[in-house]
């Protein structure tokens, strides 16, 4: 649905203190959401959780006030992974769940994401309805109809038990030494406990949030320290999440990264060998090597636009249960309604244990083509793709790849950048083409 001014591919996101990520806007957003999710009979409840950014306190209070002013109850979850809020929204039979998070972005960004009562991202029409209320005067309900606030104190424990329950009864990770990097984010008090309770020997890093260090030189976006720790501790593997816990990547015992494409392959291969995998959904950014590896297993594969919403829609359309992105945003549709880094990690560990294999052995079935991506800063609304010089540069790059690779330019849905991606068999050629094309795009953005 077109015409939405504030909602992007994953909620509303931006720099703290810059419209719309301001206290007054978020207050009105809470009120607008309360109006949309309010019902005539009975008192409804909206759950509100957040990651570990210092600005979460500010926006939690603003949302809470707006929702209460609309006559809806609020239950505060505190710092919790985004997928946990989706799960808890369903289990508490809440009208909606709201996440205060900017995911993998730095601490001075923040955002608001919504889940419906079913634990899924909102439809475009519902987001548009919320935006319509933002244009109205904010009117507080009469005092006897004001919402009430409460805090759910056992939220982490509930989610921990859910995660462990996604493994078959009796599953055990005994014998595995795992380094887990929580990105100083929302998984800091969840993921290590899950792994320890399943029997693994766990060394946690990135598990001391101070409000300012989320995603800073750690987590799935910055895995260098995790690689070092895995080697130093002679661990079997490492696991890294992003700040809000919906992404995951691995590191094998040699310190090599295992990204979302490789994890999808491992999960698909394991499912194929144990009852079948009827198909996998990837995105425009998925490595061509994943497509080739799945074809070897006779597993169908389709691509969507980038974003978990598009992946989930394609999964539903095809009635498939597995999909994800190279970034490590992986959806196991039979276990969760959204991308869940911890649930995906547990499924990979299950595959490793049941196959009695190492992570390096499990990933051996996929050979990724060299891929280079360059982010180019752009101004809002710039139609770079329609520029003749950019179109000519794309055509030239594709000709030089000679049918043995691909070129993709995609505006980010969460940052003011264009992602310039080139993929092919020759790594040096791929790198040069990506840099040249990024230079052309950057020149048009000036």
* CATH code of the domain covering residue 103: 3.40.120.10
Give the structural domain span for 228.
159-363
- Pair 87, 182 in one domain: no
Beta strands in 213-263 (DSSP E): 237-241, 248-252, 257-258
pLDDT at 2: 46
1 within a domain of the structure (yes/no): no
Q: How many domains are contained in the chain? A: 3
41 is catalytic: no
Alpha carbon distances (Å) from 123 to 7, 10, 282, 324:
11, 11, 21, 19
Contacts of 294-301 spanning 24+ positions with Cβ under 8 A: 294/265, 294/268, 296/365, 297/268, 297/269, 297/272, 297/365, 299/268, 299/272
Is there a single domain that holds both residue 140 and residue 178?
A: no
CA distance 45 to 42: 10
Tokens of 234: 């002679």
Phi, psi (rounded to 5 degrees) for 75: -115, 120
Residue 3 resides in a domain: no
Within this chain, do residues 146 and 166 fall inside the same structural domain, yes or no?
no
288 and 164, same structural domain?
A: yes
List of residues 6+ apart from 345 with CB closer than 8 A: 191, 239, 241, 248, 250
User: Which of 75, 101, 103, 336 does the annotation list as catalytic?
Assistant: 103
Residue 4 within a domain? no
Looking at the structure, do residues 277 and 149 belong to the same domain, yes or no? no
Verify that 397 and 278 share a domain, yes or no. no
Give 299-317 pLDDT, tens digit per residue.
999 999 988 889 999 999 9
Report yes or no on 403 lying in a domain: yes
Instruction: For residue 381, give the DSSP letter.
Output: T
Domain boundary among 363, 398, 420: 363
Domain boundary among 363, 390, 423: 363
Whether 310 and 165 share a structural domain: yes
pTM assigned to the model: 0.90
**10-residue averages of pLDDT along the chain (446 residues):** 73 96 98 86 82 98 98 97 98 96 96 96 93 96 96 97 96 96 98 98 98 98 98 98 98 98 98 94 92 94 92 97 97 97 98 97 95 86 74 93 86 82 93 95 80
Strand ranges in 42-130 using DSSP code E only, listed in sequence order: 45-50, 73-79, 96-100, 109-116
- Residue at which a domain ends, from 119, 137, 153: 153
On whether both 81 and 136 belong to a single domain, the answer is yes
Same domain, 171 and 137: no
**137/298 Cα distance (integer angstroms):** 57
Residue 121 lies in a domain: yes
- What confidence score (pLDDT) does residue 444 get? 81
Question: Of 239, 112, 110, nearest to 183 (Cα)?
Answer: 239
The answer as to whether 199 is a domain residue is: yes
Is residue 332 within 8 A of residue 260, CB to CB? The reply is no
Kindly report the CATH number assigned to the domain that includes residue 415: 3.30.310.50
Compute how many other C-beta atoms are within 10 angstroms of the C-beta atom of residue 395.
Answer: 11
E-assigned strand segments in 295-363: 301-304, 322-324, 330-332
Structure-token pair, residue 268 = 């698909």
**pLDDT value at position 169?**
93
- Residue 24, phi-psi category: left (phi > 0), alpha (psi -120 to 50), beta (remainder): alpha
**Residue 233 is assigned to a structural domain of this protein:** yes
Same domain, 310 and 404: no
Is position 73 within any domain?
yes
Examine the domain organization and report whether 198 and 256 are in the same domain. yes
Closest residue by Cα to residue 323 from 250, 337, 67, 258? 337
Examine the domain organization and report whether 340 and 210 are in the same domain: yes
CB-based contacts of 17: which residues, under 8 Å, 6+ apart?
Answer: none
């Amino acid at each position: 649905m077109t015409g939405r001014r504030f909602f992007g591919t994953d909620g509303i996101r931006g720099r703290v203190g810059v419209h719309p990520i301001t206290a007054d806007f978020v207050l009105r957003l809470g009120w607008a959401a309360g109006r949309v999710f309010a019902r005539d009979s009975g008192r409804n409840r909206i759950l509100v959780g957040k990651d570990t950014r210092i600005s979460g306190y500010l926006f939690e209070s603003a949302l809470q006030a707006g929702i209460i002013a609309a006559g809806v109850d609020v239950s505060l979850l505190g710092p919790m992974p985004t997928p946990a809020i989706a799960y808890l929204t369903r289990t508490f039979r809440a009208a909606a769940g709201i996440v205060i998070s900017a995911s993998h972005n730095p601490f001075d960004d923040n955002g608001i994401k919504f889940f419906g009562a079913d634990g899924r991202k909102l439809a475009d029409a519902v987001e548009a309805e919320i935006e319509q209320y933002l244009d109205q005067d904010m009117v507080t309900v009469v005092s006897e109809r004001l919402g009430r606030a409460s805090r759910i104190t056992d939220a982490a424990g509930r989610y921990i038990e859910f995660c462990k329950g996604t493994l078959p009864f009796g599953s055990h990770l005994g014998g595995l030494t795992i380094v887990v990097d929580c990105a100083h984010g929302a998984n800091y008090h969840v993921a290590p406990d899950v792994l320890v309770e399943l029997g693994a020997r766990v060394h946690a890093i990135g598990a001391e949030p101070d409000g300012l260090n989320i995603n800073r030189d750690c987590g799935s976006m910055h895995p260098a320290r995790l690689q070092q720790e895995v080697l130093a501790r002679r661990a079997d593997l490492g696991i890294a999440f992003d700040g809000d816990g919906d992404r995951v990547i691995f590191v094998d015992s040699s310190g090599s990264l295992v990204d979302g494409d490789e994890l999808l392959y491992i999960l698909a291969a394991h499912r194929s060998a144990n009852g079948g995998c009827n198909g996998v959904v990837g995105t425009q950014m998925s490595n061509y090597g994943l497509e080739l590896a799945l074809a070897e297993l006779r597993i169908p594969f389709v691509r969507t636009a980038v974003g978990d919403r598009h992946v989930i829609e394609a999964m539903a359309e095809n009635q498939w249960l597995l999909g994800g992105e190279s970034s490590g945003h992986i959806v196991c549709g039979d276990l969760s309604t959204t991308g869940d880094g911890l649930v995906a990690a547990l499924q990979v560990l299950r595959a490793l244990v049941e196959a009695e294999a190492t992570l390096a052995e499990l990933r051996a079935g996929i050979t990724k083509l060299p891929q280079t991506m360059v982010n180019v800063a752009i101004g809002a609304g710039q139609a770079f793709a329609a520029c003749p010089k950019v179109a000519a540069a794309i055509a030239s790059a594709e000709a030089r790849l000679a049918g043995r690779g691909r070129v993709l330019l995609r505006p980010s849905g969460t940052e003011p950048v264009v992602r310039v991606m080139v993929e092919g068999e020759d790594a040096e050629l791929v790198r040069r083409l990506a840099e040249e094309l990024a230079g052309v795009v950057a020149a048009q953005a000036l």
